[in-house]
A and B are shown apart, each in its own frame.
Chain A
Amino acid sequence: MSVLAETFAAARADNRAALIAYLPAGFPSPVDCVPVLAAMVENGVDAVEIGLPYSDPLMDGPVIQSAVEGSLRAGTRVADVMKTVAGVAGTGAPTLVMSYWNPIERYGVDRFATELAGAGGVGVITPDLTPEESQEWTRATDEQGIDRVFLVAPSSTDARLAKVAGACNGFVYAASTMGVTGARTSLSSGARGLVERVRGVTNLPVCVGVGVSNAAQASEVASYADGVIVGSAFVKALAEADSPAQGAAAAAKLAADLAAGVRAGRRHA
């Protein structure tokens, strides 16, 4: 069983959804990124996505755009992303990379997959890569035993859901709503329906992201999904902090709140 599969199995045994957190590498600063993520894991985050900062993040809203621009200005490179993965994987939490396609293609798909496996990474989420364009990537990740996670959306037809889920391993990433990353005051009712449709075409865990920002929303999503993915809310908590220490404390507290949320969700279901 893969590390990621073990994480979902353990959460299921605990009668709850898994909590997955996202931060861009190099954020809130190159030195603080790993310690902050470690504190989040300590406070209940089950798995981590490290964002690879990219100049043209067209699936991201203003909060993550701004964090990524800052990280790029601080000089974050692919090597730093790999080091961050190694650091976070050292906490024992399964660690994935979230990356737009061009940086991976440019780095070299085999080189990227090999270095990620070497750093202890378990998977890669690619928000702008569709199965149709992923032959090379499929081969490279299979060779390295890296999980491939593609996204599905409320607009995906049933035929596409089957195709995308069939190309995934690890889990399927369901975008809760049509739109870019960032907190929403209320979650789209479409997310539950999407998860149900995905379950009709795959046995893989289904995780919901985009727009989940607080414990109540995490609890709601946890009542029907296998995992709850939170990104912008962590980034915002860190970006608004007055000091690195305060930021780390705020992120840890948010992790604890969300972890309580995913536990509350399943008990009510």
Chain B
Amino acid sequence: MPSDDPVVDQASRPPMTHGPDAAGRFGVYGGRFVPEALMAALDELDIAYRAAICDPTFTQEFDHLQRTYTGRPNPVTDATRLSEHAGGARILLKREDLNHTGSHKINNVLGQALLTKRMGKTRVIAETGAGQHGVATATAAALMGLECVVYMGAEDTRRQALNVARMELLGATVVPVDAGSQTLKDAINEAMRDWVTNVDSTHYLLGTVAGPAPFPEMVRHFHAVIGTEAKEQTLELAGRLPDVVAACVGGGSNAIGIFHAFRDDADVALYGFEAGGDGIESGRHAAKLSVGSSGVLHGARSYLLQDEEGQTIESHSISAGLDYPSVGPEHAWLRDSGRANYESVTDAEAMDAFALLCRTEGIIPAIESAHAVAGAIRVGKRLGPAGLILVNLSGRGDKDVATAAKWFGLVTDDEQKQGSS
């Protein structure tokens, strides 16, 4: 029989000004809206997480992996030629694209995989959109000898076939999800169903700062290294704090990861750029913080694309990683409080920035990250040459070469089909 509710040590919680509170809420956002069957597992996770981050054995192992496996610290690069296209503002790129597996996702995954072992669980499940989180999870599972199942929308398995192959090479089982819109939202539904069924043996290795408490806080913690490193590196390179920190926002993990270290620096403006798709007015976008409304999806209250009766509206973006109708609850809180600004970047603007970064800096970014670059160029034109902008380049674009080649007309549809068959 399960034991009684454990008591969580209130003293181990972070200061309230950074959220969340003891109920896992960031203001009115966050919380836990889940089937009762998962409440025990969330309590177990909460306790294991809080104990782990205070345990030197855990933190040393995590730090060791970050240095010897992920390749941290990754550098900050001065994008001098790009800056000419951004009103002359100085642009610094935090190079999460240089991490093992090609994006920031590995930070959180290694932390949660270590935690999975610590909890005595043997199986991890994950959702993935672009495939970056799935690849990172499959990688950590292989490294630590855990069984791994990744749920991926059937539409996304077609858009990101290369990442499906990578996950399978790493020993993971990829399950295409045919329900609903066949994208990230439906993959999360299916992962939650698996978790409810197999919660004794399985940890749900959620890939972003969304979901029920303690996921938003825990995933932030494992990604906070991005901002901690970048702040120090920016001071070293520029001798001062940036005027603006910019990141793309899908679920919001890379943005929270770089924002967190700057939360108390009132002179540093935080900018999140969400996917504007075909444009806000087209209705085909993923700009929940710009035009969404408060609601509950996937276990937490946050901003959401929904109709007037609370049915989720499908999102659209050229970037599978940003193609999600909700967002982590901390972003909703940062938005309402005015601490962070959120704007949208269309597919076309993102692809222009993608091309520009390739040609000016020799860096092929993930299309997700290209949204942040586009946003930085926009903000740079407002700031002018005195401006200093730190951009989280959250991932590299190897996975997006086929999409980009098609967008820029470098291959025909027929050639693409032949290439992928």
Which residues of A does B touch, CB under 8 Å?
A: 54-59, 61, 65, 69, 72, 77-78, 101-107, 127-130, 132-133, 150-160, 164, 175, 178-180, 193, 197
Contacts and interface: CB of A to CB of B under 8 A. Distances in A.
A152 B36 contact: yes
Contact of B309 (A56, A58, A77, A130): A77
Interface residues on B, range: 35 or more
Nearest to A79: B309
Contacts of A154: 37
B306 to A, nearest CB: 6
B312 A55 contact: yes
Contacts of B39: 130, 153, 155-156, 160
A61 B179 CA distance: 11
B33 A129 contact: yes
A101 B298 CA distance: 11
B180 A69 contact: yes
Given A151-B36, A155-B41, A157-B4, 16 more contacts: A56-B189, A56-B298, A57-B189, A58-B189, A58-B193, A77-B309, A107-B310, A128-B33, A128-B35, A132-B32, A151-B35, A153-B36, A153-B40, A156-B37, A164-B36, A193-B1
A174 to B, nearest CB: 10
Given A130-B33, A156-B2, A175-B37, A102 B295 contact: yes
A159 B4 contact: yes
A54 B197 contact: no
> Which of A56, A154, A179, A197 gathers most chain B CB within 10 Å?
A56
29 contacts: A55-B180, A55-B311, A56-B298, A57-B189, A58-B35, A102-B296, A102-B306, A102-B310, A105-B295, A106-B306, A106-B309, A127-B35, A128-B296, A130-B32, A130-B33, A130-B39, A132-B31, A133-B31, A133-B33, A151-B35, A151-B37, A155-B2, A155-B39, A175-B35, A175-B36, A178-B37, A178-B196, A179-B196, A180-B196
Contact of B5 (A59, A153, A159): A159
Contact of A153 (B37, B200, B297, B311): B37
Interface in B1-20: 1-5
Contacts of B312: 55-56, 102
Nearest to B189: A58
Given A59-B35, A78-B309, A105-B310, A178 B199 contact: yes
Contacts of B308: 106
Nearest to A210: B37
> Which of B3, B179, B299 gathers most chain A CB within 10 Å?
B179
A69 B314 CA distance: 14
Nearest to B24: A132
Given A103-B311, A179-B197, A130 B5 contact: no
A61 B190 CA distance: 9
A75 to B, nearest CB: 11
Contact of A101 (B4, B38, B296, B306): B296
B192 interface: yes
A72 B311 contact: yes
Nearest to A177: B197
Contact of A103 (B37, B200, B310): B310
B196 A130 contact: no
A34 B304 CA distance: 33
> Which of B31, B38, B198 gathers most chain A CB within 10 Å?
B38
B153 to A, nearest CB: 13
A161 B185 CA distance: 31
A55 B306 CA distance: 10
Given A103-B309, A106-B306, A155 B185 contact: no
A235 B365 CA distance: 48
Contacts of A105: 295-296, 310
Interface in B163-194: 179-180, 185, 189, 192-193
Contacts of B299: 128
Given A103-B310, A106-B306, A158 B33 contact: no
A262 to B, nearest CB: 24
Interface in B250-297: 295-297
Report, nearest first, the 3 A-B pairs whose CB atoms are least far apart. A106-B310, A153-B37, A103-B310
B23 interface: yes
Contacts of B383: none
B23 A197 contact: no
A151 B404 CA distance: 48
Contact of A56 (B180, B196, B197, B199): B180
B34 interface: yes
Given A56-B189, A155-B41, A155-B199, A160 B306 contact: no
Contacts of A56: 180, 185, 189, 297-298, 312
B197 A160 contact: no
A101 B308 CA distance: 14
A107 B307 CA distance: 10
Nearest to B186: A56
Contacts of A78: 309
A130 B38 CA distance: 11
Given A58-B189, A58-B192, A105-B296, A160 B40 contact: yes
B330 to A, nearest CB: 18
Contact of A156 (B31, B34, B40, B198): B40
